[in-house]
Structure 1
Amino acid sequence: MARQRNDDDDEARAGAASPALALAIAVILTFCTRSASAVGSTPHSAFSYNEDDPTGPAKWATLQEDWAVCDSGTEQSPIDIAKVEVSKDFGPLEQTYRASAAVLQNRGHDFMLNWTQGNGKLTIEGKEYKLQQAHLHAPSEHTVNGTRFDAELHMVHEDPAKARAVVSILFSSKAGKTSKLLSDLKPYFDKLAGKPNATEQVKGPLDPSAWIDKASGYYRYEGSLTTPPCTEGVIWTIMSKVADVSKEEIDSIKAVKKSAEANARPAQKINSRVVRYYKPGTTERIDAPAPAPTPGPS
C-alpha cells in the first residue's frame, strides 16, 4: 500500500492505489467464500474435533438436521486402509494442474489454499473434476494398516454437477526431512496462526502438479466429506507413497488455533466397501502395503 506523503503528488498516488488494493482484497475474500461454498464447506466454528466437547465428532449428527448422515451414513470417511484389491484397470492420475496465484486462509480448524485464478482438472474414468481448494489435517485422517501419519493434505475437486473427488497425500516426519510445499508455506502458517478467517496472498504461483509423485501408486474408494455435513458420494484417491515433512512444519500446521489441537476425524466403518489399489502389473488380491516414509515430490 502506498505510504502517506506530505506532498500533494504522493498523496494523489496513494489515493489512487487505495481503490485497487481494496478491490484486490475484495476479490480474494469473495473467491475464498465462493470456493468454500462450492465444496460444501461448513463454518468450522460450528463443530469440534475434541471427543469430549458437545460439538465433537460423536455428536456431529445431532447438531444440525442435515448432518444426520455423519452417523447414519454407510460410506463415511476417513477409513483405515487394510485389505485392498489391486486393479489392472487403473493408471497414473490424469491431471492438468497448473501454477497460478493462491490465497491461504485460516478456517479455524485448518489452513486452506484457494487459487485466485482457478486451476486445472483431475480426470477419473473420463469424468472431469476441477480443483477447488486444498487443506491440511494433522495428524492424518486416513490410516494404513492401523498406522496414522503426521499430516494429510486433501486436494478437493468438484465437477459441474457438484460431485466431488479428493486426492490425499500423507506426510511423515520419521525421516527428519522437510517438505518443499510445506516449507514454502510455513511463513504463512506462522503469520495466520491463531487468526480464524484471516487470509494471506501467497507470493509466487503454486503448482499442485508438483505435489503428485508420479512414481506413487494409490488407493481408491467411495466415501464422504470428513467434516459436516459428511456428504457421501466422494471419490477418494490416497497416494501410497508417503511424503516427507519436518517436525517444525507439523507444529506450524497444528498452530492454526492458539491452543494447538488435532483436526482429524476418527476412522469410520468400511462396511461392504472395497478399496482398490493402483500398482501397474499386479492383479491379485493382497493386503495393503504399509507405505514407508519415502521422499515425496519436491
Structure 2
Amino acid sequence: MKKIIPILTFLVILSGCELYEQDEYQEYYVVESYLVANDTLQQVRLSTTNPIDETYRFEDNTVSGATVEIQRLHSDSSVAEQYQYQEQRPGIYTPVDNITIQDEQLYRLQVTTQNGDEISSTTYVPGDFETVNELESSYVYQGEQQVELTTTPSSYITDRQTYFVFTINALDTSLNNLTPFYADQVDDDETDIEEYYVNSSGIVNEGNFDQNPDNGNITLRLPWLAVAFYGSNNIIVNTIDDNLYDFLRSHDTQSGGTTLSPGEIQNIRYNVNGGIGIFGSMASDTSSTFITRP
C-alpha cells in the first residue's frame, strides 16, 4: 500500500515523547493501520513508546506474539466477519486472507498482547467516490489555471460534511525538480528529500469549495503548496474518517498550526482504547498530470 497520508513520521516522534502530564514516564502501546475503500486489508504495526530522553526506533520497540484481527461490524456493533492476522516479522502483522474493504462499513481493530493487554479502535469507512473531470495534460506551477478536480459526493455515517486531504505522489523526484519552497527546506534544514516524495495537504472542508446543487458534485482546487516536485505527479484525493480527522487536526495544533496558547493546546486525539496511534480509514481516487516550471 502506498503511504497515502504520511503520518508515520509523526507517530515516530510521538512515540519518543511524554504525551500527557504525569510525574513518571508511562509506556503506551502504539498501533498504526489504515483501511482504504475497495483496497485490500493492509498491515498492522505494533510497538511501544520510549521515554523522551531515549531515541525511538520502531525495530527496538516492537511488540511480538500478539493476537491481531480486524472485524467488520453490523450497525449495532455486533461482529459480522472476522479477519485474522499473522506476525510477518517483529511488530508487523499482515492479514491471512486477501479481503477487500467495503465502503460505508464499520470496522474494528482488536489486539490482545501476550500479557493480556487489549487495544482496540473502530472506524467507519467513508463512502466511495470518483473524479469525473479529466485533468489537463500539464499545468504551470502557481499559474493562473489551477488544478481542479470535480468529484462525486462521499457519504459518512453521521451525515457530516466531507473532509478531504490531497496527497501528491511525485514521479520525477530529482533534486533539481523540487519546487522553490521545498528546495529551500532541503537546503536550509538539511531535510531528507525522500520526505517529499509523497506529500500531503492539510485537511480541507467541502464547505470551502463549489458544490453542484443538482448532483452534489464538488469542485476541489489543489493547493500549490502540496506540490513538492515539478514533473509527473499522481494526485490522490482522499476523504477521511473521524479518526484521521481528529489525529491530523490535533497534530496541527501540536506542531504550531494554531493560534491557541500553549496552555490551551489539547493532547493528540487517537481514538484508540488501550494505547495510542491511528486506526483510520479513507476513500481515495487518483488522477495524474504534469507540473511545469513557471
**TM-score calculated relative to the size of structure 1:** 0.23
| Larger relative contact order (Cα-Cα within 8 Å, sequence gap ≥ 6) | 1
Task: Indicate the structure with greater strand content.
Answer: 2
**TM-score calculated relative to the size of structure 2:** 0.23
Task: Indicate the structure with greater helix content.
Answer: 1
